Homo-oligomer: A and B are copies of this chain.
């Protein structure tokens, strides 16, 4: 444990610990922290107010939107700030579906979307929030049933052909497809699906919450949600871009920002924007560096007995690697690795608090237990990765022994 990680003022970790769970909630980029402190001094007032302090906060907010828009390839007025990524997804689905209610309000989704998208789609489609599967009833006007979630292959990649067929069904108001799956790293065919959706006159919501800041932002979207907490910005703020051509119906009170009733925190917004600019400035180099590390991890882990290396080997996020070990309990493996100084994720990346098996892994038809995900930060070193690889096989063996399957 003599290889301490480089000092990072933005996070405190016990010396020697290796943090490999940087997906969804990554440590703040150091520049985000600086930006936050500066904008807390200058942008504490309510940006909706008319006085000098309010106008100064509004200018900071506009600057944040402009910077984010430049990275996303959007116009400033197309970029909205929300209370968080989940709120972005809910608002996008609800308001895009509501705008087309007369033609039906079914939402076509991929099977490995985030729980928030699946849930919002069920609500918009008129299904019960508690029911399993996307309802897709085609709205209350009795149009034909829309299909359920579009299946994925064993790598977690959505069937673009099936999705193209699904968006052409009557009563479809919106299609939703993630850019990449944060749990297994697989990139989705957003280009092909966007072409098909456009031909059908259906807007496409792209959940880029796991990809922005890590790979190039796609331009194949009508609505795009991105997550500052994933790229090294703060939690408590979300980004939703909506092309000006897309019809939406505000779902909140008329006299409020429809995407953030009650407003957002200007310092959080500004910190999110600065973090995005910072990670974009060396994204290509970081992408190559982390991709090489992840390739090494996937190749080495494949040599451990009875393991499945999960997700698309080629079309994937550069910083995420996921495995499922036979005869292993995922929670136990996380705990065992934690005891040895390594923090990793397990099961469903989005719902690690529950003991439910991941709906993503289930939809892929791979092992849903014994699952571990690592996500490399920009500050993760090759040395840290090597130490992880040195410790992992023993940790897996010990957990198997505890479960009495050591001899298998």
- Seen from chain A, the residues whose Cβ lies within 8 Å of a Cβ on chain B are 9-14, 17, 19, 21, 24-25, 27-28, 33, 40-42, 44-46, 48-54, 83-87, 90, 115-116, 118-119, 129-130, 229, 234-237, 251-257, 261-268, 331, 334-335, 337-338, 343-346, 348, 351-354, 356
Q: Is the CB of B261 within 8 A of A116?
A: yes
A351 to B252 CA separation, bound complex (whole angstroms): 13
Q: Which residues of B contact A353 (CB under 8 A)?
A: 48, 255, 257
Partner of A255, one of B40, B337, B351: B351
Q: Which residues of B contact A50 (CB under 8 A)?
A: 331, 334-335, 338, 346, 352
Q: Which residues of B contact A263 (CB under 8 A)?
A: 25, 235
Q: Is the CB of A46 within 8 A of B27?
A: no
21 A-B pairs (CB sep. < 8 Å): A11-B44, A19-B53, A24-B46, A45-B343, A48-B351, A50-B335, A50-B338, A50-B352, A51-B334, A51-B337, A52-B343, A53-B343, A54-B343, A83-B83, A115-B261, A118-B253, A130-B254, A235-B263, A255-B348, A257-B353, A268-B268
A103 to B42 CA separation, bound complex (whole angstroms): 50
A24 to B33 CA separation, bound complex (whole angstroms): 25
Give the distance to chain B from A399, nearest Cβ to Cβ, in Å.
14
Partner of A45, one of B9, B21, B49, B119: B21
Question: Assuming A50-B352, A129-B251, A130-B254, is B14 touching A28 (CB within 8 A)?
Answer: no
Q: Kindly report which residue of chain B lies nearest to residue A89, judged by CB atoms.
A: B262
Q: Is the CB of B41 within 8 A of A11?
A: yes
Give the distance to chain B from A204, nearest Cβ to Cβ, in Å.
22
Give the distance to chain B from A110, nearest Cβ to Cβ, in Å.
16
Q: Is the CB of B83 within 8 A of A84?
A: yes
Given contacts A48-B353, A235-B268, A257-B353, 8 further A-B contacts (CB under 8 A): A21-B53, A21-B54, A51-B337, A52-B343, A87-B87, A129-B252, A234-B267, A235-B264
Q: Kindly report which residue of chain B lies nearest to residue A41, judged by CB atoms.
A: B12
Q: Is the CB of B40 within 8 A of A253?
A: no
Q: Which residues of B contact A331 (CB under 8 A)?
A: 50
Q: Is the CB of A33 within 8 A of B40?
A: yes
Give the distance to chain B from A26, nearest Cβ to Cβ, in Å.
8
Q: Which residues of B contact A17 (CB under 8 A)?
A: 52-53
Q: Kindly report which residue of chain B lies nearest to residue A118, judged by CB atoms.
A: B253
